Each structure stands twice: as C-alpha cells, then as structure tokens.
Amino acid sequence: MKKFLIPALLIASVAFMASCCNNSNTTQAPDALVSHIDSTVKPGDDFFMFANGKWFKEHPIPASEQYNGIFQIIQDTVSAQVRDVCESSAAMTNVEKGSNRQKIGDFFYSGMDSVSLNKNGVKPLKADFERIDKIGTGKDLFKELAYIQTVAGSPMFGFYVGQDDKNSSKNAIFISQGGLSLPDRDYYFATDDRAKMIRKKFVAYLDSMYTIMGYDKAEAAKAADNTMKLETALAKSSRKREDTRDPLKNYNKMSFAQLNQDTPNIDWPVFTEDMGLAKVDSVIVGQPEFLTALNGYLKSFPMSVWKDYLKFHLLNGLASSLDDHTYMTAFNFYSKTLRGIQEPRPRWKRVVGHTNSALGDLVGQVYVKDYLPAGTKEKLLEIGHAIKKVYAERIKNLDWMTEGTKKKALHKLDVMIMKVGYPDKWKDLSSLHVDRTSYVQNVINANKWYTNYMISKYGKPVDRTEWGMEPQTYNAYYNPSNNEIVVPGCNIMVPGYERKMADDAILYAIIGGSTFGHEMTHGFDDQGSKYDAKGNLNNWWTPEDSVKFYAKTRMIVKQFDGYVAVDSLHINGSMTQGENIADLGGIMMGYQAFQQTKQYKDNKKIAGLTPDQRFFLGYAMAWMLNMRPEAIANQVRSDVHSPAKFRVNGPLSDMTAFYKTFDVKKGDAMWRPDSLRVKIW
C-alpha cells in the first residue's frame, strides 16, 4: 500500500467517486460499500485497498486480534450471541443434569472461574507428567502417545479415521507426517531474519514451558534444546506442504502387518489398542518416508528426549485451558511472536470460543432456534442452485475439455450435494460429562469424546448426512469424498446490512462467488479434480484433458508466485493453487449468476453504484481483512490460502468484466495482458 499517490492517480480515483457516488440516479443513501471506498487509491492499481481502505483507516486492528475486517465483525456478532447462550445457561437454576443447557452452562462457568484456574496452575496435569516420567519401554511410550493424541494433540504423527479416498463408502485409518509445534516444516529451515527470530523465540518458549513443569534452569534449557533438535529432525523428514497436495501421491494403502514390518520401532498394536481400535486390517499412509525416518529417530534419540517431547506436547495442547501464567506463556509465542497480536482477548471471548468448539452441536441447536433468520436455508439454496446452473453452462462451453470428460464433469456437478443452514440430525453428546469442577478436565473430556466418536466410525458405513461445521461457524467447505458443499447458516450475514437483506449484487458476490462458486470449483481444482462423482479417488480425465488443465493451472501458479505478500516474502503459488483456482472460478460463476438476476437486468444504480460496480465491490468486501505483517508472514508460510489482498486483486486481474467496469488500462498495477489472464472455468 502506498502512502502517497501521484496526482494523476488521485485525480482518476476522485473522478470515479464523483461519477459513482454523486450521481443523480442514486436511489438510496450511500451504503456500506460506498462508505468503505478509499478515493486516494486508483481501483486499477489496488482494488482491494480502493474498496476497503477507508474502513481499514477507521477501524484499526484491535490489540487482541491478528486482523480486523469482515471475519472479525461477523465473529464478534456470533460470539456475542453465543455468549448470551452460555451466560443464560450458566445462570439457570434447577437445570436438568445432562441437558444441553447444563453442559453449556457448566463448561462456560468452569472456564470463567479464573480464581480456581490460577490456584491450581498445572496441577491437574501432574499425574500425567509423573506417568510420562515413568516410561521405561517402547510399549509405555506408545501408550502415553495414544493418551496425548486422544486429549491434547498429535505428537509424532497425524492419525485419524475418515473416508477412504478410493472407496468413499467406507471409513479407513489414515497416518500422516506430523508432530511439529511450529505451523509448518519450513519454519525450521528458512534463512530469512523473521524465521531465525521465530526459531530463537521458540526455543525460549520451550524453556519456559519446561520451567512451568518444574524443571530447574539447566534441565529446562537441555530439554528445550533436545526438543528443538527432535522436531527439526521430524521437519526434515516431512514433505513440503505443496508436495502434500496430490492426493494420489499421498495415498499409500498397506496392511497392518506390513506397517508393523516396515516400522518395527513403532508399537502400532499398543497404540491402536489404546486408541480404542481393535482388529485393524489396513491403513492409509500419507508419507511412508516420514514413518521410516521416525522409526529411526526412536532409536537415535534417547528415551529421555521423547519423554520431554511428550510432556511438552501435552502441556502445549492444553495451555489455553489452564492458569493465566501458562496461558500467557503460550500466548506470547503463538499469538504475539507468530501473529503480531499484542494482547489476549477478554476471558469471556476465549471461553465462549472454547465452549462453542467443544459443544458446537449443543450450542448450535440453541443458536438456530434463537438467532438464525427465517428463510436462511431457502436463500442459500436459491443462490447455490443458480451457481450450479451457471457452472454447468460454462463446462459445456469449454474449448479445452473433450466431450467425454465434459459429460463426467457435468454428472459430478449435477450430483454434488449442497448442505446449507444447519444439519437435520445433530451429534449425540449425551455421554460427554461436563461439570463446574475443572475447566481443563472438561476440555479433556470433550477431546476424548470427539476422538472416540471419530474412532467409532472405523468399520462402519460412512454417514453422509454428517456435518463438519456448526451453523454458527462463518465458513464453508467442499468435501471431495462426499462430493458435497456445506454452507453454515451464519454465512447469510453481511456487515452493514444487519437489519435488512443485502441486495443481490452483494449476495451473489459473497455467497455466490466466494462461497458456493469457490467451493464448487474445489471439486474441479488440482486436488478435487482427481475425485469422481461418487467421491472416489479416480482419474476420470483423458491425458489430453489433463495436459491442457495443468497448463492452465501452471499459469495461476506463476501469477501468484510473482506476488510479494510482506517484506520480501513471495506467495507460494504451488501451495496455494487450489484456493486460487477456486477463487477465480468462484468469482466467474458468481458474476455470471448475478447477470441472471432482476437487479442486474434492471441496471439501476444503488447508492450511485451500477450493478457491476456493486458486485465487484461486494466481492472485495468478502475478503475485507486488514492483517498484521506477522500474521501475513505466518499465513504465507503455513496456509494454502493466499492473503486476503491477493484473493481479491489476483482473480480480478484475470477477469475482463472487471477491467471494463473500472476502466483498468495498461500501466495500471493490476493490468495483465490478455495472454496472461488465467481462464480455466
């Protein structure tokens, strides 16, 4: 972002504002879109800042957050609503034991009881630490690993039960690389100053956590140094994040006997038995070379190092549920150092977040009844079906896909399921025990419940009605194994339009383009395109189609490789390509679907803005996020999503309609020659 603009650019922006916002055809007072515009920025140079800059100037990032913007506005709204649910539940008298309200109220109450939390410190984990200290054999080690994987995190490796990628009707066991405490393996090796600083502070953080556990100064320093060496070894043996994007290369099915034979130092029978799994016949390994390396590290690193490592992961995974000193120690590294956040959120916000996370389906039932607007499902489905119709038309008109593959693509799109609003069936958490005695124990109980719930799926048919998000979650996802899109109800919210429904230009940009269009495109991105209509990993493309498709995806990789996100740190176009493809496809679908609406056809201005202008400004609002430099750097290293600015400027730079709407010309920073504008769907 430039602080000063040359006069020509300033004049151009002012001229645009004069034409769009002071027009005599204005039908209503300037609204949220207009009030966010920064007229000192030329739209063709940085549309993200043009559309959102004034809002950013007027709403600095709170000291307790890593960013400010649309996600924060909506999250604050939802948090306030969930807080009401929590506080009213906690205040209830004679509430039925085991009821939703009892569990919500007691969980929230225990988290707000800072006096008890600070009095107890890390004592609730003392027995766990002592048990880890007594580990003497490999069998003991993997019994403790299973416990920690159940209640606190994923040391050593990733482990879960989910749909078999090649047989989506069955649940399988997945094992993947993992065991790291920094957000990505590259943090352990990057040579820039920011990464070096983070590694130094991470070792200091390890030292502090071992001190909290009761280690003396020399013991804590030694344990911290050894844990860093161990995690660096695990990182060295891990694939880069972009190399984990190909589901075919990361699908290696083998018998349980073969797994035991290949990695004899890992006591898989003890681990799986303690996880609650019996009669394991096969597993799917994501990165076999990682397990081979881990098998060696179990001998090359002394047992004492592994015990320290497990104790750290236990405490680290539960730090946010313990006393203020432990919480702040973790906050200062993970939030302040890694993301630039200056101070913690108020306790109530943190506890509301934990309650919502642990008891999401219980809170969700109350949330739907009390807060979700009537007609939410219907409006979401209306937009979703409109996007699906447009996508089908675009597939039919592709000039690079063969007819046979088009038929398969159209079939996959046709049977794609859309789950919107809220689930018809809620998870049964009746066996989860919650009381007011111990916050960390409530968290442990919830973690156990979810782990056991996941483990119980093994050997059972896949429940395709299940949701992976709650209706109060402002997000959405595409699940390739179910060939489904899930859009929770609170996605209907648009800041600035709380008391009325936003116009279709905004809804089709945010819900149509950046939500439905984005998620549908995931079914056909570099990963989703490898799954067929039934959700099975299956190459349904002809070699000719694949060659042409990947030629186009290489263009978007190169485009995003060229963007500098912060300092001298470039976006990783390979790692982010799936999301970038989905962003581009989403805005294309959303715009074409919007062109079919009455608002677009009537071509009347609202607040001085044409339908096209409102659509593109609405799309920029979808990613209205002002992020701290530290948070941007962390995202670039560890997240498959590009930073918000480039989720706007990137795809719009490839869209001819945007050029026409805002008179983008050669010489403007966002201008790209037609030959370099990516066109996939």
Query: What is the pLDDT averaged over residues 322-340?
Result: 97
Task: Round to whole Å and give the CA distance between 401 and 570.
Answer: 32
Question: What is the per-residue pLDDT across 61-73, written as a single tens digit (0 to 9) for each?
Answer: 999 999 999 999 9
Q: Which pLDDT does position 644 carry in this prediction?
A: 97
CB 105 within 8 Å of CB 434: no
Q: Quote the distance between the C-alpha of residue 221 and its chain's center.
A: 34
Around Cβ 347, how many Cβ atoms within 10 Å?
14
Q: For residue 31, what are its two tokens? A: 């609204």
Q: For residue 620, what are its two tokens? A: 């920029």
Query: What is the pLDDT averaged over residues 352-359?
Result: 96
Question: What is the per-residue pLDDT across 218-264, written as a single tens digit (0 to 9) for each?
Answer: 999 999 999 999 999 999 999 999 999 999 999 999 999 999 999 99
Question: What is the per-residue pLDDT across 24-39, written as a single tens digit (0 to 9) for each?
Answer: 343 444 689 999 999 9
Question: What is the per-residue pLDDT across 392-446, written as a single tens digit (0 to 9) for each?
Answer: 999 999 999 999 999 999 999 999 999 999 999 999 999 999 999 999 999 999 9
> What's the CATH class of domain 374-423+467-676?
alpha beta
Please, which pLDDT band fits residue 11 given cuts at 50, 70 and 90? very low
Burial 252-270 (b: 16+ CB within 10 A, else e): eebebeebeeebeebbbeb
What radius of gyration, in Å, describes the C-alpha atoms of the chain?
26
Q: For residue 393, what are its two tokens? A: 């038309």
Return the closest-CA partner of residue 78 out of 384, 339, 334, 355.
355
CA-based end-to-end distance of the chain: 31
Query: What is the pLDDT averaged over residues 577-591?
Result: 96
Please, which pLDDT band fits residue 8 given cuts at 50, 70 and 90? very low
Beta strand 564-566 with 569-570: parallel, antiparallel or unpaired? antiparallel
Establish whether domains 122-320 and 374-423+467-676 are of one fold. no
Sketch the domain layout of the chain as residue ranges: 67-121+322-371+426-445, 122-320, 374-423+467-676
Q: What secondary structure does DSSP assign to 527-592, as a single string?
A: TGGGB-TTS-B---S-HHHHHHHHHHHHHHHHHHHT-EEETTEE--TTTTHHHHHHHHHHHHHHHH
Lowest-confidence segment of 12-16, 95-99, 645-649 by average pLDDT: 12-16
State the burial class of residue 309 (Cβ atoms within 10 Å of its Cβ: 0-12, 13-18, 19+). Answer: buried
Task: Round to whole Å and give the CA distance between 529 and 577.
Answer: 13
Burial 474-490 (b: 16+ CB within 10 A, else e): bebbbbbbbbbbbbbbb
C-alpha dist (Å) from residue 679 to 423, 545, 587, 654, 675:
36, 15, 12, 7, 10
Sorted by sequence, the CB contacts under 8 Å of residue 73 that are 6+ apart come out as 495
Task: Round to whole Å and give the CA distance between 261 and 399.
Answer: 50
Please, which pLDDT band fits residue 531 given cuts at 50, 70 and 90? very high
CB 480 within 8 Å of CB 527: yes
Fold that domain 122-320 belongs to in CATH: Neutral endopeptidase; domain 2 (1.10.1380)
Q: Quote the distance between the C-alpha of residue 414 and its chain's center.
A: 26
The side-by-side arrangement of strands in the sheet containing 477-479 is: 417-421, 484-488, 477-479
Please, which pLDDT band fits residue 10 given cuts at 50, 70 and 90? very low
Query: What is the pLDDT averaged over residues 599-619?
Result: 97
The structure's pTM equals: 0.90
Q: Which pLDDT does position 30 carry in this prediction?
A: 60
Average pLDDT, the chain: 93
Question: Hey, CA dihedral for 36, 42, 43, 47, is it positive or negative?
Answer: negative
Q: Which pLDDT does position 499 carry in this prediction?
A: 64
Q: What secondary structure does DSSP assign to 429-461, as a single string?
A: -TT----SS-HHHHHHHHHHHHHHHHHTTTTSB
Q: Which pLDDT does position 251 carry in this prediction?
A: 97
Q: Which residue has the tokens 């509430």?
A: 95
Q: Which residues pair with 569 in a beta bridge?
A: 566
In the predicted structure, residue 15 carries a pLDDT above the cut 70: no
Question: What is the per-residue pLDDT across 274-317, written as a single tens digit (0 to 9) for each?
Answer: 999 989 999 999 999 999 999 999 999 999 999 999 999 999 99
